[in-house]
Each structure stands twice: as structure tokens, then as C-alpha cells.
Amino acid sequence: MSKKCVNCGAELPGGAAFCPHCEASQIERRPVRPPRPWRKRAAAAAAALLLLAALAAAALWLVPGRGHQPAAYTGGAELIYPGEDGEYRLFLCFDWPCIEDGISQDLAVVELAADSELFKPSLFSAQFADSGEDAREEFCSLLESCTVEALPLGGGEPMEAAPPAWDEAFPQAALASGVTFHGGCGDNEVRWTLEMKNGDVLTLSHTVSSVLLREVVYTPEDAPMDTLSELSDLLRHIESEVDGGAVVSLYLPPVTYSGGLELSGRAVNLYGGTDGERRTTFTGTLTIASESPQPCTVEGIAFAGSGGSGLSATASAFVTGCEFSGWDVGAESLEGSWLIVSGCAFSANGVGLLFDSLHSRYSSDVCPGNSFTDNGVGLRVVSLPGSGGFALDNCLFSGNGTDIEAPEGLLDSSGARFE
């Protein structure tokens, strides 16, 4: 096979190494490049850099707060968490005095009637482990998010846990979650899950147990209660003879009790009776000072006075469908009590309804459907801690010297009527 000269273009026989016409070589020559030692040096340098980077990354894991390996910490009602500046003792409790005493609480047992609903605060506290001093600000600065769940145990019915937040009613707690439940709904684990900014996940939990109370009912047919003396004797009998785990309900006759009555010790429910225009009436103060966590119920009773207080509570109660007239203060919630007052009429009192309590309200429905007429002050709120608004839905204010006295921003009167 012939080919052409690479120099002069003459026809050449196949395989010719040079041209017979111009004597030009037909073999292609490529320049020979000498070896370059820097390539080996660069490869070695790159390997050294990779090694240094690996060593630096490993060193970061040893520096607190840098290159942190996320971890999970699980406790019951308390655990120790190692922070950058020292250890934190984290714990849960239900009763706010336990925070100051540094006491965690694994279990709260509450006895409730089947138709009763109750709020129990689940409180989260952070302290410095070495000193026991409050560390809520320092710990919360490390916290990314927090959730609280109420998880039924052993066939219990689910309770409701509110989203955790700081609550002015429990200022010593870093966070609080209100747990709402009814009588006899069983056990729920209240589980706190805290996700830290460094990726750690912390889990604490404690348990609420709602035990159903047995109810014992007394009617005028079961025991004499036509006079204040007979009623007082019956209450003494109940206190000494009836099982302390029972709810006691008294269905009162439509009579007038001349004088006052004190409910202390156990919680007792009082239901007023009617007969035509006659109804159960107290002319003296009904004092509610029970030591039971079970709230009292006072329903369908008239309080007709000439000064003093119609109903004075230092313990909690539901007051429904009652009338208050002629008192310096119709009904008052004092000290550690809370009152849920609904469908009541307050007329011709110095102050119709007074709240001056240290207890946290758990609901905005503190005072629905009441009427306040011809009082010096219809509603006065001095103190009633807790988050959420204080609603006055379906309340009537008419003819009062002052309808409402309360701290600014506490009340929501948009659902009330003023005449």
C-alpha cells in the first residue's frame, strides 16, 4: 500500500522510512519530556493535608459545645444533664412548693366524682446540680423545643395536656403544662420531651392517677336537716362515720337557715331545694374551707344577707344558679381558692363577686352567664393568677355604681351586655 511523503508529497512505497526524493524521514517523532518531581511532592502534600483535616475534625469532638455528638437522656421525674458550664438537675412536680424544696414527684393521685373535672399543673424545673440554685434562664437558653403528652396507662382514658409555657401562676417553674381530666379516668403518664439546640433529646415523665370517688347522698327523707342545728349535726356525723374516700352530696329542703355554715375537712356538695316560691336560703355566711382536692358544688341556693359575705371560699368550688343579695360581698374567692361561678344573680351588694386569690385559674370560663345588678361594684378582681383570658360571656351588668374593677387586660368583656 503506497503513501505520500510527509515533506514533499511524492508517492512512496508502503513501509518507506524515508523519501527517496527529498530524503525526509517518514517516522513521527514525539518530544521526550523529562520527569517532574513536583508531582510526587504535591501528592504527598495533599495526603498530609487530608490527615491534618481528619485530626482537626477528631479534635473538635473533644471541645465542649463544638462538634457535639447528640445523645439521649431519659429519666423518670428527674435526671442530671451535663451542660457546658456544669450539670443541671431537671425535675418534674405537681405542687409548686416542691420546686423551692427541690422535690420531684413521680405520682399524683386525685380522687374525683364521676362528673367532676379537674386541672393539675405539671411543672418542669431546672436547677444547678451542685448548688440547687435556680437555673431556668441558663437551661432554657440551650433549649430548642419542648412538648408534653398525656399517655393513657393500663386502659385509662386520655387526659389533655396543654402546650408547655412559662406561667406567671407558677413563677418558680421553668415551664408548666396544665393537665385536665375527669373523675375515674384512670392513669396517664405525663411525658416531657425536650430537644436541645445541640441535638440532645431529654425525656422526663410522671403520672397522674384519677380515682373515682364513691358518692353518698342524703335527702330530707334520709336525715333531718330542716334547721341549721340539724344540718350541722348531720355534717358532724358524716365527718366521723362516712368513708373519707366518698363524695357526700346533701339535697337540702326549701327552708331558711338562720345563720352561717362552715364546710371544712372533706368536700361536701350542697344542692338547694324549691317548693313553689320557697327555696333553700342562708342568711349567714357559707364558708368553704375544705381540705380535700375535690371541689365543692353549691347549686340552687339563695343567700340573703344584711352585711358580711354570703359565700366565702378559701378552697375551690363550683357555684351555680345561686342568688346573692344584701351583702357587703356576695361571694368571694380568697387565699388559695378558685371559684367557677355560673348562672348566678348578684344584686344590691356592696361588691357582687370578688376574686382575691393566689390560685391559678385553669379555664377562661371562670364567670359565664351571671347577672350583676344594682351593686356598688358588680365584679372586682384583685388577684387571680394564671394564663389565658378571663371571659365574661353572657354576663349582664346593669345599675351598678361600677360594673367592673380589674387589672388592665385581664378581662374579656366582649361577650357581656351592659345596660
> Cα 290 from chain centroid?
25
In sequence order, the 6+-apart residues with CB closer than 8 A to the CB of 224 are 230, 234
CATH topology of domain 72-212: Immunoglobulin-like (2.60.40)
pLDDT confidence tier of residue 6, bands split at 50, 70 and 90: low
- Per-residue model confidence (pLDDT) at position 371: 98
pLDDT tens digits along 272-296:
999 999 999 999 999 999 887 778 9
Q: Across the chain, what does the average pLDDT equal? A: 85
Q: How wide is the angle at C-alpha 58 spanned by C-alphas 57 and 62, nearest 5°? A: 110
| Rounded distance between C-alpha atoms, residue 7 and residue 27, angstroms | 11
Is this structure's pTM higher than 0.85? no
Q: Given pLDDT bands bounded at 50, 70 and 90, which one contains residue 63?
A: very low
- The share of the chain scoring above pLDDT 70, in percent, equals 82
**pLDDT at residue 67 is higher than 70:** no
Instruction: Return the minimum-mean-pLDDT range out of 2-6, 77-81, 188-192, 217-221.
Output: 2-6
- pLDDT at position 412 is 85
The candidate with the shortest Cα–Cα distance to 90, out of 101, 75, 72, 71, is 75
- Of the listed ranges 49-53, 89-93, 270-274, the one predicted with least confidence: 49-53
β-strand 175-182 against 117-128: which pairing, if any?
A: antiparallel
HEC string for 332-344? EEEECCCEEEECC
Quickly tell me which residue has 359565700 as its cell. 311
pLDDT at 389 over 60: no
